[in-house]
Amino acid sequence: MAPPGDPRRLCRLVQEGRLRALKEELEVAGGCQGPAGDTLLHCAARHGRLDILAYLVEAWSMDIEAANRDYKRPLHEAASMGHRDCVDYLLDRGAAVDSLKKADWTPLMMACTRKNLEVIQVLVEHGANPLLKNKDGWNSFHIASREGDPVILRCLYEPDCRDNCGVTPFMDAIQCGHVNIAKLLLEKHKACPSAEDRLGAQALHRAAVTGQDEAIQFLVSSLGIDVDVRAKSTRLTALLYAAKEGQTSTVQTLLSLGADINSKDERNRSALHLACAGQHVACTKFLLQSGLKDSEDLTGTLAQQLTKSIDILQDFNHTVKS
């Protein structure tokens, strides 16, 4: 058992909410830092112990802006874990609402990952800036779009703000399959469905890479996005992106929407070329069955050889296991 005043014991008392026992031991131990440089304030904020948090600030004058080794403040902890009462208290005591932890994450960004509307509202009301960006170029709006909560998105701003790769929240929502969020961004925030990232790729291309068939149907059928539109930098269509990533069902979806099966990139490579190059057997088989079987086409020949070789290898593995 840890002796009185041991940092681990003090942290455990905070975690368990044992204020009386903590008071007694602090008379002996004074302050405390844990293995990650946490103070008792960090621990109290993380576990939502408002009474202990207030005691440590008011009786011991502990610094509410104390940072641990990841530069987290107690406000980061409280916001991250959704403890509104602790967030309220720290802000009322003057905690910096937009303090930065490692990788430039703010308390508001961390609250957005937990989808706690009340905490987000409190932070915004106290002046938290949803447009601040972390080291990846994400702001709170990007994070909320990725998490897929339409109610939280209504508290935030700037639908077409971009991260370091030029990706908008609308693109984030589409590539993650959050069609309801994409609709909200269009209807309430006038997001641009044809915005391009730094490589000139649109939401349609990013959805093809991640295999979001429903999102692709929405973009093409409901919004009228050209199914064969090319990314400006790579010159790839959504079909070529999907084949390159081996997204067989997405290739099928795109073809059903009228995508040109014979489209090629700048190096004259077709979807079949790209599926073969990635050794995507299922995708290769599907494309072969979709009409790319010309015996004079070198790609078709290579694809057939690749499929046959892998089938032989699979049969061999099955035999060995048997």
Token pair belonging to 197: 């990232």
pLDDT on residue 300: 52
**CA distances in angstroms from 19 to 1, 28, 86, 91, 93, listed in the order given:** 19, 15, 16, 22, 20
CATH code of the region 1-101:
1.25.40.20
pLDDT on residue 107: 97
Domain locations in the chain?
1-101, 209-216+232-255+270-322
Q: Which residues pair with 270 in a beta bridge?
A: 264
pLDDT on residue 1: 43
pLDDT on residue 10: 87
* Per-residue model confidence as pLDDT tens digits over 139-173: 998 998 888 888 888 778 666 788 888 999 999 99
pLDDT on residue 156: 81
* Per-residue model confidence as pLDDT tens digits over 110-121: 999 988 899 999
